[in-house]
Structure 1
């Protein structure tokens, strides 16, 4: 079959504009695949397209026959509706294979854009709570940490769901959440130093808002040669991180607590090994519900999470934390890239996300900033230096794994990190 020969240039341009907009809005993990996806789709429709990207905008030029159209698009990048990313892949595949014409593709794309989230608000709330609970043992493997996170994570989840219903609240959501979590932690959970530092008690509840994904995506874009998008995303990541940090400090000021309380000492572990093992199941289920990933993908994503954790643990014992993180990121990227090449598998972004979160890069930035604010200069700078090192290791590992796993023809075409959308 061939492209829809009855389609007008305006219809083709409208389809490519919609496609670019949806890809841009769902590019919180990086924008490096957008240009190639749009160009390949245009080529299947007997058109030509070029895209000039920045993280929150795109200039799309579409040429059909002797006509040329340029559209300027704007979209805030995020990763909270991954069900749309999953639904987009078979549509793009059908268009490229000539199985779907422009009119039908426009109709299907409009349905994806206007679709309701796959889970009701209360399941998203539960997902954020499970997401934080699964992360809690990474901070401190204690029952007290899990119990505190259950309360603090619920508070953070309520605020996140409320922001969905009141969009004007969204720009200040990280600040409001961090202030609220900081106040409750200091007043309720951090009164006894034997339970560990207050920052370690706060972090799991804030993890949903910590921009570790943006930080690594920015570094990966820089490593792949996307200088403009990488640099701008890096600045935006730093802004989000500082917003959370300021919120924690405001919480201390509101309660009259000295910043010296922001010590970073973990309590003695009392969680059994089976609880640590099961926490990744809780974490993965929470990720699916929080980021609107179809539940049928639980098993492959859970396998990738456990593979990433196992590789990181084994490699860290052999070559240290930085080397272990690099190897884990490379294995995760290679596995996700190869799986995403299969038509029946979800896009690479969806396959990467849960495993990526297990590398916990964003928490290092928060720990470093808050420890510095507490006056613990050496420990704070140690955490920040570790952040830079680990971010780079993850980003280079993701690029390295993707390059290794790409088919030879894709690598020769200059695809860098690109894969099937």
Structure 2
């Protein structure tokens, strides 16, 4: 490097670097500290980070001088283009091609970069995201049609809440109320089209925290107790918002809770339409979460890889085994692909495939069945939910363990051994 920063300068840079990593840490925060340590070493310093789910204590040392600061950021995956740009910046730093003053300018450019798509693309993406997922809930054209209408309403609410933090935090509740009202009044009048919950689910899938639930379980199992516990609580709170919103809609319409049985309608779609629907789903994800165009092919490939492995595994050994094998395949493939320079980070590669496992929707189905008084059915869904979320988490851990020692995780900035500073903390 042509210029060596002071401890305060490097600490300030890493503070913003870690803040951006935290914002894109929806699938786990354990790689943030390793990335910060690798960048610090690239500029002749050292960094030790104590992690929590939405923050970090960052200790930086350069030439005998130290700097300590705290960082907070709300985990989110809404701007995956920034996660891609941040990985590219880290690669330049670790390759020794970026003097510190240029790295500072590059980090500011990542923070200020505009969205890769026009503003109207996000609501369109939310609708496509839900419509593409609908056949996985019920393979009927009625499900697709109702989802298109309900998801359009959800997309409008998301646009109205954009930039309003308090409203955004309560958006799952408001969206669930509106979707519940419209479903009961208009779309769920005939049970031959499926139960109300099954009609609501695709439109609300944008808010279902399946990724956070499995990330939390994996972190707890790996010993990251503080990050895992906080993420688990936050994911449950999001699910409860959706659950309460559905119940409020029932209360307003005077609909008995006993109607909330998740009956599935008989399918009227061909197998190939269902398969192609995942391409629509991926297109929606790209627009809704601002995935850069150059990453689309990789995302689509991992979606279909996950689907194919899960289908084959389920046919051979049952749902749990199929989900476990798909999780392992997804974790290994995402990690290996993300190792290449210029390729998307692990989160971007991983997220589309993860959504296909649909773990979060099981949780909402279980809660609504229990609220409707269908105790046995609700506990059956709840046990399925707990089994699948644990299976996915363990599968992801197993996939990571299969990689050779020293191979970086896809979301990390550089290779290096796993930290040994104890649960919930990592150092370098």
Distance between the aligned counterparts of 2:181 and 2:291, measured in 1? 32
Q: What whole-Å deviation, never above 9, does each CA across 1:41-76 have from its counterpart, x for those lacking one? A: 101100111111111111111111121111111111
Aligned to 2:330: 332
Listed as ranges, the gaps of 5+ residues in structure 1 are: 417-421
Question: Is the aligned partner of 1:379 residue 2:384?
Answer: no
- For 1:104-123, list aligned pairs within 5 A: 104-123=102-121
* Aligned with residue 310 of structure 1, among 301, 308, 323: 308
Aligned to 1:143: 141
Deviation at 1:412, TM superposition (A): 8.0
Q: Number of residues paired by the alignment?
A: 414
Q: What whole-Å deviation, never above 9, does each CA across 1:279-299 have from its counterpart, x for those lacking one? A: 010001111111110122222
Aligned to 1:414: 418
Aligned to 1:169: 167
> Cα–Cα, structure 1 residues 35 and 165, in superposed 2: closer, same or farther, change >3 Å?
closer
Q: Does the CA contact (< 8 Å) of 1:335 and 1:405 recur in 2? A: no
Deviation at 1:373, TM superposition (A): 0.7
Aligned to 1:419: none
Q: Does the CA contact (< 8 Å) of 1:11 and 1:103 recur in 2? A: no
Deviation at 1:90, TM superposition (A): 1.5
Q: What whole-Å deviation, never above 9, does each CA across 1:122-142 have from its counterpart, x for those lacking one? A: 101000100000110011000
Question: Is the aligned partner of 1:50 residue 2:54?
Answer: no
| Partner SS, residue 393 of structure 1 | helix
| Partner SS, residue 207 of structure 2 | coil
Aligned to 1:214: 212
Question: Is the aligned partner of 1:41 residue 2:45?
Answer: no
Deviation at 1:236, TM superposition (A): 1.0
* Aligned with residue 191 of structure 1, among 189, 192, 199: 189
Q: Does the CA contact (< 8 Å) of 2:250 and 2:257 recur in 1? A: yes
Distance between the aligned counterparts of 2:270 and 2:347, measured in 1? 33
* Aligned with residue 392 of structure 1, among 381, 390, 393: 390
Q: What whole-Å deviation, never above 9, does each CA across 1:188-228 have from its counterpart, x for those lacking one? A: 00001111000000000000001111000101111222111
Aligned to 1:266: 264
Distance between the aligned counterparts of 1:101 and 1:14, measured in 2? 16
Aligned to 1:61: 59
Distance between the aligned counterparts of 2:12 and 2:375, measured in 1? 54
Deviation at 1:29, TM superposition (A): 1.3
Distance between the aligned counterparts of 1:371 and 1:34, measured in 2? 38
Distance between the aligned counterparts of 1:157 and 1:254, measured in 2? 22
Deviation at 1:166, TM superposition (A): 2.9
Q: What whole-Å deviation, never above 9, does each CA across 1:104-145 have from its counterpart, x for those lacking one? A: 101110111111211222101000100000110011000000
Distance between the aligned counterparts of 1:409 and 1:135, measured in 2? 34
Listed as ranges, the gaps of 5+ residues in structure 2 are: 409-414, 421-428
Q: What whole-Å deviation, never above 9, does each CA across 1:347-376 have from its counterpart, x for those lacking one? A: 111100000000000000000000011111
Q: Does the CA contact (< 8 Å) of 2:27 and 2:215 recur in 1? A: yes
With 293-302 and 181-190 compared, the bigger mean Cα shift is at 293-302
Q: What whole-Å deviation, never above 9, does each CA across 1:228-276 have from its counterpart, x for those lacking one? A: 1111111111111111100000000011111111011101100112211
Distance between the aligned counterparts of 2:88 and 2:81, measured in 1? 12
Q: Does the CA contact (< 8 Å) of 1:183 and 1:252 recur in 2? A: yes
Between 1 and 2, higher relative CO (CA 8 Å, sep ≥ 6) is seen in: 2
Distance between the aligned counterparts of 1:303 and 1:130, measured in 2? 18
Distance between the aligned counterparts of 2:148 and 2:191, measured in 1? 19
Aligned to 2:359: 361
CA RMSD of aligned residues (A): 1.4
Q: Which runs of 4+ in 1 moved over 6 A?
A: none
Q: Does the CA contact (< 8 Å) of 2:4 and 2:44 recur in 1? A: no
Q: Does the CA contact (< 8 Å) of 1:190 and 1:197 recur in 2? A: yes
Distance between the aligned counterparts of 1:167 and 1:60, measured in 2? 26
